């Protein structure tokens, strides 16, 4: 079995137009091809404010499929550690033979999650969007801003976080890295004054209120991936002119649909993003629409990014440097 380390993966795999396209193609495959994607298996570790998710998907026609183990331990910041971790395993589709172990420590999950946010912004936000709002100040909040900046010409950023010191570091780092002015604001001001808002928190009570929505706004919510999590008031989904998610059944079980007043009606209203990337459904069609996208994370994204990484490092002849 080939072992790929985080260091080696980081040398070659970055958030760019190519990895964004890999994830967009994965969404399209989910809509157009036969995909075997089991429900997420989650193990809660309440004693340490942690959780473990296992995701996988086989896409017909691909030589390999991945199984990803992802952890989130949300008190890690107290130890000076990132909250996310994990690894990916790649298996041969025809024989089931383990091919590669990607010891990425959650890096590839960060990349594919950010890329999904870019895909959502590309299809659902206004093309003239210039102000981005970020709820949260952790690692995914950083990746998401970079991702949005790759598909929209962002000139101003508003950020809200619970911890002032984390927000201050976020502002400093993102201004230095992207050359964009970043300002701290309340959650309400972030939403009311942004063209695109992305939520990246493990919140269990809604942060964004229905009354804050305004014409032309796009929201991507990606923090809710468990029954107890919720970032958006139920009314936000109902008020949206277009509500999109990665997988309807997953959003109903673990995402924002889970908290809707009328889940059956929201399931009818919801559009899966793969239907849009495949051209079967339309994304944003007017500048006035309010659009919302709920991303819970899918195994098809993990198989796509793992296979992309394997093929890229093979092409770069990284095996020799690893061994």
What confidence tens digit (pLDDT) does each residue in 26-56 have? 999 999 999 999 999 999 999 999 999 999 9
What is the model's pLDDT at position 121? 98
Is pLDDT at 83 greater than 90 in this prediction? no
Between residues 102 and 323, the one the model is more confident about: 102
Residues sharing a CB contact under 8 Å with residue 274, sequence separation 6 or more, in sequence order: 27, 28, 29, 30, 31, 32, 246
Task: State the average pLDDT over residues 128-140.
Answer: 95
pLDDT the model gives residue 320: 54
Look at residue 323 and tell me whether its pLDDT is greater than 70: no
Question: How confident is the model over 112-127, as pLDDT tens digits?
Answer: 999 999 999 999 999 9
In the chain, beta strands by DSSP E: 2-5, 35-36, 41-45, 50-59, 64-73, 84-92, 98-103, 131-135, 156-160, 181-184, 196-199, 218-221, 242-245, 271-272, 291-294
Residue range 210-263, pLDDT digits in tens: 999 999 999 999 877 777 888 999 999 999 999 999 999 988 888 888 888 788
Q: Work out the average pLDDT over 193-205.
A: 93
- Is the pTM higher than 0.85? The answer reads yes
Which residues are annotated as catalytic? 68
Average model confidence (pLDDT) across the chain: 94
């Amino acid at each position: 079995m080939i072992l790929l380390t985080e260091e080696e993966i980081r040398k070659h795999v970055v958030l760019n137009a190519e990895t964004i396209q890999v994830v967009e193609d994965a969404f399209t495959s989910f809509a157009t091809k036969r995909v075997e994607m089991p429900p997420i298996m989650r193990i809660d570790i309440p004693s340490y404010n942690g959780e473990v998710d296992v995701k996988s998907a086989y896409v017909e026609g691909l030589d390999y499929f991945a199984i990803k183990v992802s952890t989130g331990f949300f008190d890690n910041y107290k130890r000076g550690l990132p909250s996310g971790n994990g690894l990916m395993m790649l298996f041969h589709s025809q024989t089931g033979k383990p091919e590669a172990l990607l010891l990425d420590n959650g890096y590839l999950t960060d990349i594919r999650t950010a890329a999904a946010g870019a895909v959502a912004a590309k299809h659902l936000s206004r093309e003239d969007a210039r102000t981005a709002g970020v709820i949260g100040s952790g690692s995914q909040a950083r990746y998401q801003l970079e991702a949005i900046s790759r598909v929209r010409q962002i000139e101003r950023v508003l950020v809200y976080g619970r911890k002032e010191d984390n927000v201050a570091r976020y502002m400093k780092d993102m201004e230095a890295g992207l050359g964009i002015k970043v300002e701290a604001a309340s959650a309400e001001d972030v939403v009311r004054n942004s063209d695109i808002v992305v939520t990246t928190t493990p919140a269990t009570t809604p942060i964004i209120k229905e009354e804050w929505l305004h014409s032309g706004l796009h929201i991507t919510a990606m923090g809710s991936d468990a029954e107890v999590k919720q970032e958006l008031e139920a009314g936000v989904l109902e008020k949206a002119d277009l509500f999109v998610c990665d997988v309807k059944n997953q959003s109903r079980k673990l995402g924002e649909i889970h908290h809707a007043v009328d889940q059956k009606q929201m399931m009818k209203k919801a559009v899966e993003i793969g239907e849009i990337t495949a051209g079967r459904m339309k994304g944003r069609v007017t500048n006035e629409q309010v659009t919302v996208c709920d991303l819970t994370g899918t195994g098809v994204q993990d198989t796509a990014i793992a296979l992309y990484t394997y093929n890229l490092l093979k092409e770069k002849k990284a095996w020799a440097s690893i061994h």
